[in-house]
Homo-oligomer: A and B are copies of this chain.
Amino acid sequence: MHPRSLRDTPVTSVLLTNGDIDHIAGLLSLREQTPFSLFATSEILDVLSENRIFDAVNREKVTRHPVALAQDFDLQPGLSARLFAVPGKVPLFMEGNDVRTDLIGEQTVGVRLTGNGKVAYYVPGCADVTDAVLKQLSDADRIFFDGTLWDDDEMIRSGTGIKTGRRMGHIPISGPDGSIVRLQGLRAAKTFIHINNTNPILQPDSPERAFVEQSGWDIAHDGQEISA
């Protein structure tokens, strides 16, 4: 799409799947007069409302659309979306003393996208691949899935953090309960997204990357385009 003015962008819709910083802070770079439609669950939109800084995203230009789970809606012409809950947690900045990472609700969702007769899933955060998640993904042609960490204590071991992946709401790629093993029965093409910079699959020559590719997964990269 061509820009319509000097400060325009080709972005017509934004869909939030989570209320944490890495999902919402980018809105502050799209301010302040750029029109687009903003879709999210009511609970995620509440996070924005509770933080007045997001009032800079002008509600007259950026319409906020609350979306219920399990309800189809048009993200843009020809592209339909449906949200579903996956195991997760509240945003880091809203954590209390006790943090549950198995919440099933409106705080962490995946997206089922349909267009051109194809079905794709986008799941950037998922604390556990439950049987319900597997069942949801069963009609996928393509899955974009949470590839944050290779293994659960990677950040602790590398001295870059004090939490496990699961504690952060991200199932690891490796291991008997990891995403590769859990999703291996699905016929879909599979791509890891949301990859943390400690994850060895980002290293071109790593055995972990080789394993991921041998397992039939792609590893997303900036600027990537995928045709259905």
Which B residues touch A158, using CB under 8 A?
Answer: 6
Which B residues touch A94, using CB under 8 A?
Answer: 52, 55
The stretch that binds B, out of A26-34, A35-43, A178-186, A206-214, is: A26-34
Which B residues touch A54, using CB under 8 A?
Answer: 93
Q: How far is the CA of A159 from the CA of B33 in the complex (A)?
A: 11
A205 contacts the other chain (CB 8 A) = no
Query: Could you say how many copies of this chain the assembly holds?
Result: 2
Q: How far is the CA of A6 from the CA of B161 in the complex (A)?
A: 10
A11 contacts the other chain (CB 8 A) = no
A56 and B92 form a contact (CB under 8 A): yes
Q: How far is the CA of A6 from the CA of B155 in the complex (A)?
A: 11
User: Which residue on B lies nearest to A32, using beta carbons?
Assistant: B92
B160 and A6 form a contact (CB under 8 A): yes
Which B residues touch A51, using CB under 8 A?
Answer: 51-53
A5 contacts the other chain (CB 8 A) = yes
List the 8 closest A-B pairs by CB distance, nearest first.
A56-B93, A55-B93, A51-B51, A25-B28, A51-B53, A7-B160, A6-B160, A53-B93
Q: How far is the CA of A93 from the CA of B92 in the complex (A)?
A: 23
